[in-house]
Amino acid sequence: MKAILINPKLRTITEVDYTGTLESLYQLTECDCVDTVRLPNGDSVYVDDEGLLHNPEFFFVLRHSPLQPLAGNGLVVGINDEGTDIGCKSKLDDVINQVTFVSLWEAKLLAWK
C-alpha cells in the first residue's frame, strides 16, 4: 500500500510501499516502539515513541501541531474504521507542505514556548 515516509535526517519526504506489517513499520520508521499523530484528514503519522530517549539530532514539525517537534522518521498511513492500516489519503505534495524540518537547537526553542 502507498505510504509517505518523512526522514528528517535526510530532509526527504517520499512515497514508499508499506506492507502493513510490524516488520515493515519498524523498518521504515527505524524504531521498534511507535506512537501515532493524527492528521486532520484522518491519516496518521507513525513516529518513534522513544525518539527523545535516543539523543536525537533530527526532527520534523507538522503544521497542525507546530509546537511539537517529532524525533526520527515518520510514516503517513491511512486507517480504516476497524483500525487497520490502509493506503494514505494524503498526497505527497500535501505532506511536503505540512512538514518543516528543524534542528536540535530549533526543537529546543519550540519546546520552551
**pLDDT value at position 3?**
98
Rounded to whole angstroms, the Cα distance separating 59 from 69 reads 6
**pLDDT value at position 113?**
53
Q: Count of domains in the chain?
A: 1
Average pLDDT value over all residues in the chain = 91
**pLDDT value at position 103?**
84
**SS3 per residue for 26-78:** HHHHCCCCEEEEECCCCCEEEEECCHHHHCCCEEEEECCEEEEEEECCEEEEE
Q: Give how far the C-alpha of residue 104 lies from the chain's centroid of Cα atoms, to the nearest Å.
A: 17
**pLDDT value at position 18?**
97
Structural domain including 88 reads: 2-112
**pLDDT value at position 64?**
81
Do 58 and 71 contact (CB within 8 A), yes or no?
yes
Q: Give how far the C-alpha of residue 106 lies from the chain's centroid of Cα atoms, to the nearest Å.
A: 18
Q: Greatest CA span in the chain, whole angstroms?
A: 40
Which residues of the chain are under the pLDDT cut of 50? none
N residues, the chain: 113
